[in-house]
Amino acid sequence: MSVFKIAVCQMLIEEEKDRNLKRAETMIRESAAAGSQWVVLPEMFNCPYDNKYFPDFAEEFPGPTTKMLSSLAKELSIFLIGGSIPERYEDKIYNTSFIFDFQGNLAGKHRKMHLFDIDVAGGIRFQESEILSAGEAVTVANAPQCPVGVSICYDMRFPELVRLMTLEGAKVIVIPAAFNMTTGPAHWELLARTRALDNQVYFIAASPARNLNTSYHAYGHSIVVNPWGTVIAQADEKEGILYVEIDLELVEKVRRELPLLAHRRKDVYALCKK
């Protein structure tokens, strides 16, 4: 089937993990009841986006959050891209997205590769590397409908990573992401449209809702862009669910009529050393 339905859950995230998990479960169940075959959660959906929370909220795999996601994916027969959570592995903490198939099996996981270490004059300072470690792998998971590339937030600013996912077969790119009130208004839609256009994929960026009662204020505006670079759905800053239909025939049509990927000059690019 070339057409299928995706739900993008723009959750309001609080300081209590149990409340976040209950809210996530409610939105996942609502999405499945509406006929969604894929459900996407936002970045750090069980934890406020703040370095001080990551160690206390971090879980090993399997843990309470991933067990819940696996169980819901199996019960509801959905492909579930579990946003991201702080994952504890050995002596490190990663920002990790866990992906579950229709049977509740782990279909893949992505550890955020590019850490958000920025200091914008008059804007925001955030240093993820003070707490988090960087992942090393490009992630493409096999959903029943098509391969899907998954990365996290700041990763979307690096065109090389999105291109590698595309070259590994991804026709849909999903990015759980929590842009802030400095970078969001400036770059969110621009980046989503550019990555979709350059790679001729559906590009989905799933944000938390904006919670003014926490230290980090997410931009929101979860967005879905088609392979032609057209925004087909976008939220505002409030909590809610975006429902979109993905038509894989459009991916093939755009790539056939405007064959950007086929026209790449690999003979030249291979010479680039920087």
Q: What is the pLDDT of residues 36-85, one digit of tens each?
A: 999 999 999 999 999 999 999 999 999 999 999 999 999 999 999 999 99
Instruction: Catalytic residue, from 47, 112, 128, 239: name it.
Output: 112
Return the minimum-mean-pLDDT range out of 33-42, 64-73, 87-96, 122-131. 122-131
* 252 assigned to active site: no
- Kindly list the structural domains of the chain, giving each domain's residue range(s) and its CATH number in brackets, ordered by start: 3-269 (3.60.110.10)
Q: How would you classify the pairing of strands 117-119 and 125-127?
A: antiparallel
Nearest-angstrom CA–CA distance, 193 and 215: 29
pLDDT in tens, 177-224: 999 999 999 999 999 999 999 999 999 999 999 999 999 999 999 999
Helix (H) or strand (E) holding 159: helix 159-167
DSSP three-state, residue 123: coil
272 is catalytic: no
Q: Is the pLDDT of residue 33 over 70?
A: yes
Report residue 253's pLDDT band, with 50, 70 and 90 as the boundaries: very high
As a whole number, mean pLDDT of residues 168-172 equals 98
239 is catalytic: no
Please tell me which residue in 87, 153, 237, 239 is annotated as part of the active site.
Answer: 153
- Active-site choice (17, 43, 87, 237): 43
What span, in angstroms and rounded, lies between the C-alpha atoms of 240 and 188? 18
